[in-house]
Chains A and B, each alone.
Chain A
């Protein structure tokens, strides 16, 4: 009773936002949709939460069809949209109470589920939601999305624009919710968060590039990957760009991640090339690919 998506397509005027995509989220799974702005993530969320109708295809959420049984879905899912969409003029407690009432429940009834998150904002329960800081708004939005004890939780880019410390805390929170049996579909543009999901779908331009566990996706990287470093980074990027054996060269932290178009590539050749171009402090070492490497290779 997770999520099932079959051949879903959606277009807005001339733009195809989703192109015939299919995937399954198992019950209790923490599933990540990983892709940049404009990939189609929000469109998919809106279809699955019954706020938008697909042009083609079928989908079920918690066993309910998104079209025929949309009312049941609305009772059984929690949705935290990318944009803060609570009532700014209501206080923290009023917002939570409002959402509980709408779903025919009370704060007390499901307090256990939200307790861990809500206690962090409870000291500010009389403050208007519009006056909260970004991190507190996020916690309130999550509390409101959980107050009716949903079977499936949809989180659309909950960590965009959030600093690394708060992002880490947020993911720890998701892991604990998952342990309570909630199926979670979460989207993010941060590739490092993909590693925290059970399975992920890489999505770009309305297409799913790959679906699997983060481990398998990392290991499916089709080439040998090298990390390259030299004293002058900018010159290094330019020189790698014009090297005849370069397949890809992307800045990656303090290194440039490099792959070759030559199956018999020898790192010594590259070192020589860089030396000939006046580089110093050259390092070329083979390295393990990350999700981000795979994403870039697939979307190249």
Chain B
């Protein structure tokens, strides 16, 4: 990739005792790219992602995220990225507005800015009527849309999404991907994991991790050609073995 990289990973490895969770992986993600990070359960995706967002120290290798080294500049990495996961996103017993204010504060936004951002965000999501409702009362799809917007509050350059659409209804799932496209269009880099293989097709490039290694990395189109199949689901089934 000739253009500027958002993420550069070189020989990244993480071992836990005798077990190698991430085994010498290398790849680059270009600025503004939607990069799909796929793999079976237990393939090492979460461990790799934790190293990239600066919360887990690699055993060896180098990773640079938003031009910061994940080991020596972990705090700068955290400030430059947005992160949302399926498991923890928002506080269920705060309202949408309160969640935005809370996370805005955590990200160090000024009070006045938080006010402006809150208005913008609620407008963009069309959530006027729900703004003062508890997040816990929202359908999962809406929660995930709000969580995604919250992860953008501090204007990060790269957004990490860990299975953002698991269990979400099909229409909302697609609206979520339209939000992803929009942000990519605005120049943000998206790093996303998913178990929905149709979503893998929406990515500019995807990597598939198998037993700690990156077994394939290319555009969905090239991968389908390479493995002589019609869908990413078939590519995945060909590559990913069950490690248990």
Mark A residues whose CB is within 8 Å of B.
35-39, 120, 133-136, 157, 160-169, 189-192, 204, 233-234, 237, 250-254, 292, 295-296, 299-300
Report if B111 contacts A (CB, 8 A): no
Interface centre among A120, A160, A234 (most CB of B within 10 A): A234
Report the Cα distance A29→B167, complex, angstroms. 25
Q: Are A253 and B195 in contact (CB under 8 A)?
A: no
Q: Which residues of A contact B171 (CB under 8 A)?
A: 250, 296, 299-300
B190-214: CB near A (< 8 Å → 1, else 0) gives 0000011110011000000000000
Residue of B nearest to A254 (CB): B201
Closest to B40 in A: A163
Q: How large is the interface on B (under 10, 10 to 19, 20 to 34, 35 or more residues)?
A: 35 or more
**What total of A-B pairs shows CB separation below 8 Å?**
107
A165 to B169, Cβ gap below 8 A? no
Is B82 interfacial (CB-CB < 8 Å)? no
Query: Are A36 and B170 within 8 A (Cβ)?
Result: yes
Are the CB atoms of B174 and A250 closer together than 8 Å?
Answer: yes
Contacts of B167 in A (CB 8 A): 36-37, 157, 160-161, 189
Is B170 touching A165 in the complex (CB atoms < 8 A)?
no
B234: nearest chain-A partner, CB-CB: A164
Interfacial residues of chain B within 136-152, with CB under 8 A of chain A in the complex: 139-141
Tell which of A166, A204, A300 touches B40, judged by Cβ atoms closer than 8 Å: A166
Collect the chain A residues with CB atoms within 8 Å of residue B172's CB.
Answer: 36
1/0 contact string of B24-65 vs chain A (CB within 8 Å): 000000000000000111110000000000000000000000
Q: Which residues of A contact B43 (CB under 8 A)?
A: 163
Assuming A37-B139, A163-B195, is B221 touching A254 (CB within 8 A)?
yes
Q: Are B177 and A165 in contact, CB atoms less than 8 angstroms apart? A: no
**Chain B residue at smallest Cβ distance from A164:** B236
Besides A163-B236, A168-B237, A189-B169, 5 more A-B contacts (Cβ < 8 Å) are A37-B139, A133-B42, A233-B181, A234-B185, A250-B174
A299 touches B177 (CB 8 A): no
Residue from the list A37, A161, A169, A250 in contact with B168, Cβ < 8 A = A37
Interface residues of B (CB under 8 A from A): 39-43, 86, 139-141, 163, 166-172, 174, 177-178, 181-182, 184-185, 195-198, 201-202, 220-221, 231-233, 236-237, 240-242, 244
- Whole-angstrom CA separation of A283 from B200 in the bound complex: 20
User: Are B41 and A134 closer than 8 Å at their CB atoms?
Assistant: yes
Decide if B202 touches A251 in the complex (CB within 8 Å): yes
A-B CB contact pairs (8 Å), 26 listed = A35-B169, A36-B141, A36-B170, A38-B139, A133-B244, A135-B42, A161-B166, A161-B195, A162-B41, A163-B236, A164-B40, A164-B195, A164-B236, A164-B240, A165-B40, A166-B242, A191-B170, A204-B169, A250-B171, A251-B202, A253-B197, A253-B201, A254-B201, A292-B170, A299-B169, A299-B171
Query: Which residues of chain B come closer than 8 Å to A189, judged between CB atoms?
Result: 166-169
The answer to whether A253 and B232 touch across the interface, beta carbons within 8 angstroms, is yes
Q: Which residue of A lies closest to B142 (CB)?
A: A38
Among residues of B, the one whose C-beta sits closest to the C-beta of A250 is: B174
| Residue in chain A with minimal CB distance to B141 | A36
* Neighbour of A163 across the interface among B41, B168, B198, CB < 8 A: B41
State whether B169 touches A36 (Cβ < 8 A).
Answer: yes
B168 touches A253 (CB 8 A): no
A35 CA / B171 CA spacing, docked (Å) = 12
Could you tell me if B197 and A252 are in contact, using CB atoms closer than 8 angstroms? no
